Structure 1
């Protein structure tokens, strides 16, 4: 089947030749991304620990727990030899969620070290001390407590041998960027078509980073320099609804709109007192009304906190100006 025929059957609006889309995302990710220690390793044990810890815990909180865990049990063999009560106690003391995850992780370590799995790999994780690891998602799914998503993550990040990841963040990105229907089969098809062959490690990291940094529930397209703005339907239309963002916040009359008007007005007038600035932001501004001085002070205080506006007092009046 030709590339054009494949593109015609593909859900959404992904370009027939996705190479430019692929290149833009990978270059964006490799130029600058959040630094997490498990992104600096290809050890399947270390990556599995990070994936299990991250299931319902913010990544910034996982870093310290992950480091402490590996300090205590540096290899999969060390974890397998540990007392399960100690592993569960660690999990509880670090507030990592359901204790069953600790039990399953401990059991998975025992499976690896005791060779209870199918075709395995000894080239990662410290030779014999690292145990024998399956290299693909199907094999990794045989580990206790390891579901399809975690198995694919370990296969991708440890062995560069995974499938295209499809999590909530990726669905949000594909829905917004390429009008992919909110259907699991459609997301799977588009995610697979977009991932370059043999690049699951960098690609899955990059597209999840895009969903976490630029295309969150509240998008930051320009601030995060989203590499897909050129192709993105949501960026073109301003409609950033998504499967996990069902209602597009109203922009007209929103605080976001009022902040923008305040900045634009102060660019034009340099500095203004509240009663001079207010009517230029809202036609219904009234000094003592609902949208009056107190409301405006709150708006400007937010801008002051963001380092955008400077507030001073002059002859008993509050004066606003842009920070230089």
Structure 2
């Protein structure tokens, strides 16, 4: 039975827009992200199953130089394909055999045209649900929401989705904007790959979901694939999360009242200037607004959560 004790934020359009804008502003550059050729994308997906993406680039480019189309690969000698796979340390040789067979299917069973839906793509040799969905998404913008280990980690942390496959599928599907599987699946996988890794990089990667993230709010970044809590107590990230959590409870707070709520030892080296700097960082990230209190001759600063 699916766990239904979780829910996504009410402002789901803002959540979607924030992620897509973050991805489109700056993301890792891989050549297969610059094409919608289903053959080239299939090759990249099969190669990436056991190999780090940085190493895949050179192998992918060399493979396509040698066999630029599915027809070229279908006409190749299988031993040459397997030999290429081995020489580039791309994992199990069976994947090379399956890729070769899939190319033959495309040329003989589909008249050289790739099928375009996840279900149809699974008819190709060695193409499982994940790979089929990736090709449908990135080549034809016709896929479902991707759910891999990185995406599960993001959903678990950000929206408190339980460690349940059905719940992950439901949450991922609800989040994805209709008809935008290409950009969305790229974006959410990028989020899990650079910002919400096993050790999160919330600030340095500029995670666009900090405003809504449950883990960021409470400071617990465990996940299904991260059973041990990364060092967090006393970190700057912890206090940033506390500021966000506290400001969610109030319309606004003067720093003099916010500080003692953020840390019990507020004062001295961790007093007004420390808190102002912390809030300024959050303001730079677009999460908090700082303003002078009306009529306050002492220049008291007030913090509010940006909406």
Give the TM-score range, shorter chain. 0.7 to 0.9
Q: CA RMSD in A?
A: 1.7
The equivalent residue for 2:153 is 172
The equivalent residue for 2:32 is 38
226 and 89 in structure 1: CA distance in 2 versus 1, 3 angstrom threshold: same
C-alpha distance after superposition, 1:112-154 (max 9, x if no partner): 0012x5xxxxxxxxxx7xx111110000000000000000000
Query: Are 1:76 and 2:70 an aligned pair?
Result: yes
The equivalent residue for 2:107 is 113
Query: Are 1:85 and 2:79 an aligned pair?
Result: yes
The equivalent residue for 2:10 is 16
| TM-score, reference length from structure 1 | 0.70
Give, in angstroms, the shift of residue 208 of structure 1.
0.1
Query: Are 1:53 and 2:47 an aligned pair?
Result: yes
Give, in angstroms, the shift of residue 250 of structure 1.
4.1
The equivalent residue for 2:262 is none
In 1, Cα distance between the equivalents of 2:120 and 2:220?
Answer: 41
In 2, Cα distance between the equivalents of 1:77 and 1:202?
Answer: 28
48-57 or 242-251, which deviates more: 242-251
Q: Which has the larger radius of gyration?
A: 1
The runs of 5 or more residues in structure 1 that have no matched partner are 1-8, 118-127, 258-324
Number of residues of Structure 1 aligned to a counterpart in Structure 2: 235
C-alpha distance after superposition, 1:47-70 (max 9, x if no partner): 000000000110000000000000
The equivalent residue for 1:238 is 219
CA contact 2:199–2:230 (8 Å) conserved in 1: no
In 2, Cα distance between the equivalents of 1:206 and 1:229?
Answer: 15
The equivalent residue for 1:95 is 89
35 and 103 in structure 1: CA distance in 2 versus 1, 3 angstrom threshold: same
Q: How does 1:1-324 map to 2 (within 5 A)?
A: 12-115=6-109, 117=110, 131-252=112-233
C-alpha distance after superposition, 1:156-206 (max 9, x if no partner): 000000000000000000000000000000000000000000000000000
Give, in angstroms, the shift of residue 36 of structure 1.
0.1
CA contact 1:11–1:190 (8 Å) conserved in 2: no
In 1, Cα distance between the equivalents of 2:58 and 2:22?
Answer: 27
The runs of 5 or more residues in structure 2 that have no matched partner are 239-307
Give, in angstroms, the shift of residue 252 of structure 1.
4.7
Give the secondary-structure state (helix, strand or coil) at the position aligned to 1:240: coil
The equivalent residue for 1:272 is none
In 1, Cα distance between the equivalents of 2:207 and 2:11?
Answer: 20
CA contact 2:144–2:181 (8 Å) conserved in 1: yes
C-alpha distance after superposition, 1:242-274 (max 9, x if no partner): 0000110344599x99xxxxxxxxxxxxxxxxx
CA contact 1:26–1:202 (8 Å) conserved in 2: yes
